[in-house]
Amino acid sequence: MTSSNIIASTREVYDFHGGIHPEEMKSLSNQTPITKPAIPPKLVLPLQQHIGKPGKIIVEIGQKVLKGQMLAEADGFISAALHAPTSGLIESIGDHPIAHPSGQSDTCLTLIPDGEDRWCELEVCEDYLALAVNEIQRKVTEAGISGMGGAGFPTAVKLHPPKQAKVNTYILNAAECEPYITSDDRLLRERANDVIAGIQIVASILKPKECLIGIEDNKPEAILALREAVFGTDIEVCVLPTKYPSGGEKQLIKLLTDKEVPSGKIPADIGIVCQNVATVAAIYRAVRYGEPLISRITTLTGMNIHQRGNVEALLGTPIDWLISQYDYRPATKNQRLIMGGPMMGFTLMHSDVPVVKTTNCILAPGKKELPIAPPAQACIRCGLCADACPAELLPQQLYWFSRSQELEKAEHHNLFDCIECGACSFVCPSSIPLVQYYRHTKGEIRQHKADLLKSDQARERFEARQLRLDREKEEKDAKRKARAEAAAKAQATKKAAGESSAAPSGDSNDPVRMFEPKSSEVSQQEANTTPEIETVDLEALKLAWDKAQSKLDKMYDALEDAKANNPDNVAKLTRAVEKNQMRVNQAKLAWNKASETKAQPLKVETETTEQITKIESVDIEALELALGKAESKLMKLQSALDNAKPEQVEKLTRAVEKNKGRVESASLAVNQARTSTKTNNETEIELPDLPALELAFEKADSKLAKLQNALDNAQPDQVEKLTRAVDKNKVRVETAENAVLAARAMLAKTVTSTEAGDS
């Protein structure tokens, strides 16, 4: 096809406010074809290579993987999968320095290539344009594609537009306005057909009214290749005048449509979707050949790299190894390396950080080529920054707000509309690093909002907890009142039965009645009183069990909902489920024991002291076994806490405190059982000290009330500590209360047994 067959676009191109014209320096790297370096000796793959939640690791250390095999799956809607760039062995999973302005570390997988470069099985599709929309979306999601123009937004999200939002215009961003960077330029020259096929795939999902490609006029070869590739389609190539930052998303929309994205909104809100050249090429490879995103085209440029050009580097390739393959000769030992361009890039703190999905350029400038900025001087209020700002902000005013930490005023002056293009810093005669001030202030505002959100959530949790405690207190008071009424009724029944036994009806001189055995009256009295008490206890225990089970069911439902919609609450709800499961088990055990006692009541008339001693001994053995298990579990948890990682300390500390309470409860139960059962030569039963147990219960209840009052008036940094103390003392109160109830039951049985013996 000749150039005469290609029709130039007649679309009107608009303009945006501001902008600058820095030296392009693109000829350093756009003269040679794209090359592929060798496979490096190791690949370091960060989980966080995109905006959103990191992927969820699905491989293990020591596992062999194939090229293209998924290593981490997308964890949520705004997330992206990670794949093996080549075949090899997973050597380690841990922290490693990543490409970040601060030089911070993050979780990474280290892959040692085996040199075979063997692919896993791929899902090839010949007739890819006939695929259903959901099938294309699935392929893109599984391929782990994210925006490769700089932001790294997961691409699959843009392919799921809201049902109420109609896409009118689809724009392919081929402007590549940043100096030095030529990766999109070379990609369009050599693989324009892949790019156009990717646009057609996206258009089959979004169904826009028009598809536009915006490209600057300083890329004539790429423009020609695009026009040849779009021939016969309804895709329009729009050539733009060279001006920085015409590649900014909002600026490109203004140039092509004369529409402005409102402050705080995104292009989709006005019916426009933008994507990068490399992104749509990756979409085509994923849908057509089933290839996940495992490499990207990166520009290697700057005077200190002597074989400059564009390379298709595997993700995870260490940058120091990569530039060494292309004759990197730094002038000094601590030579500066920049990821990205000179305007929006950042200096790398470590040279061994890996190539990631958003790495479009590695710049190794000489000292004369890109000198270090001189020290900042005082602002002279010249207004050049405002003239150059493409977002039509007031950079000078934002600078003063940032310096004085007036966060609300900075946000009110639309600080977050700043695209951090660096145009204001470029034209500033005082060499003030304006963009750095804006970045810092944005971070402070985000942190401030996060702190406010945590504070609000803590307050809501505290209020909900207070309501729950009040409700539990009311329920407990109601139960105590019911037990007191039941006990009073039982005592009244017992007293009435005793009076009727002392004054029997009929003729007292009747010799038959005079010598009737009175034990039958005692047995009848037991039959009239004991079952009634047991019935009341069983009903109360069954009610407690049902309430605990109902609450556990609700907690399970909340946990399942959190796993699907609110992952941040999963850990908290999991602990709540475990705690409520323990309460259900305790309630069930208490009801079962009470049921067995009712089904097989002790026969005081015929049961010997030896049998009673045997039963009590079995109970003591069971309690000692429970104590041993609790102490063993506590030792294991304490050992795990001593060797825990920093992020596990808080969780294990809570577990240790919780199990200490269980050990104390079990130990108290054993001691009470031992003191209440004393076997001598006559096998006598020693009665529990009910007043002492009641005093212990009152003390524990009083301490719990004081702790609860302290928690109600606590400072935010004391809430967590006091909450643990309250929970711990609640266990003690429940244990003391159970001991009192058990002592009362034992005394009641003893009284019944004594009366039967006297009869």
Q: What is the pLDDT of residue 30?
A: 93
d(CA 179, CA 158): 28
Residue pair 700/729 in contact (Cβ under 8 Å)? The answer is yes
Give the residue extent of every domain in the chain. Answer: 1-31+138-290, 376-489, 517-594
Helix (H) or strand (E) holding 93: strand 88-97
**CATH code for residues 376-489:** 1.10.1060
Question: What is the token pair recorded at 576?
Answer: 């709540």
Q: What is the pLDDT of residue 272?
A: 93
Q: Is 302 helix (H, G, I), strand (E, B) or coil?
A: coil
Beta strands 295-301 and 361-363, pairing class? parallel
Q: What is the pLDDT of residue 689?
A: 65
Own/partner pairs, 666-671, CB within 8 angstroms, 24+ separation: 666/623, 666/626, 666/627, 666/630, 667/627, 668/735, 668/739, 669/623, 669/626, 669/627, 669/735, 669/739, 670/620, 670/623, 670/624, 670/627
Q: What amino acid occupies position 95?
A: D
pLDDT along the chain (759 residues), means of 10: 53 92 93 95 93 92 96 91 96 92 89 95 89 92 89 87 83 95 96 95 93 95 95 93 94 94 89 94 95 96 94 96 93 85 91 93 90 90 95 94 93 93 94 93 91 90 90 89 85 75 48 41 42 52 79 78 73 77 76 64 41 45 71 77 73 78 73 58 51 77 80 75 80 77 66 49
Q: What is the pLDDT of residue 703?
A: 85
Q: What is the pLDDT of residue 334?
A: 76
Residue pair 59/65 in contact (Cβ under 8 Å)? The answer is yes
DSSP 240: E
Do domains 1-31+138-290 and 376-489 share one topology? The answer is no
pTM for this entry: 0.63
Tell me whether the omega of the peptide bond preceding residue 245 falls within 30 degrees of 0, making it cis. yes
Q: Is 100 helix (H, G, I), strand (E, B) or coil?
A: coil
Cβ neighbors of 14 (< 8 A, separation 6 or more) are 254, 255, 256, 257, 258
Own/partner pairs, 718-722, CB within 8 angstroms, 24+ separation: 719/458, 719/462
Q: What is the pLDDT of residue 748?
A: 61
Question: What is the token pair recorded at 4?
Answer: 């005469």
d(CA 470, CA 461): 14
Residue 347, CA distances (Å) to 353, 355, 365 in order: 12, 14, 11
Which among 567, 724, 716, 718 is positioned nearest to 653, based on CA atoms?
A: 724
In the CATH hierarchy, which fold is given to the domain comprising 1-31+138-290? Rossmann fold (3.40.50)
**Residue 678: Cβ within 10 Å count:** 13
**Residue 538: Cβ within 10 Å count:** 15
Beta strands 295-301 and 309-314, pairing class? antiparallel
**Residue 417: Cβ within 10 Å count:** 15
Q: What is the pLDDT of residue 606?
A: 39
DSSP 55: P
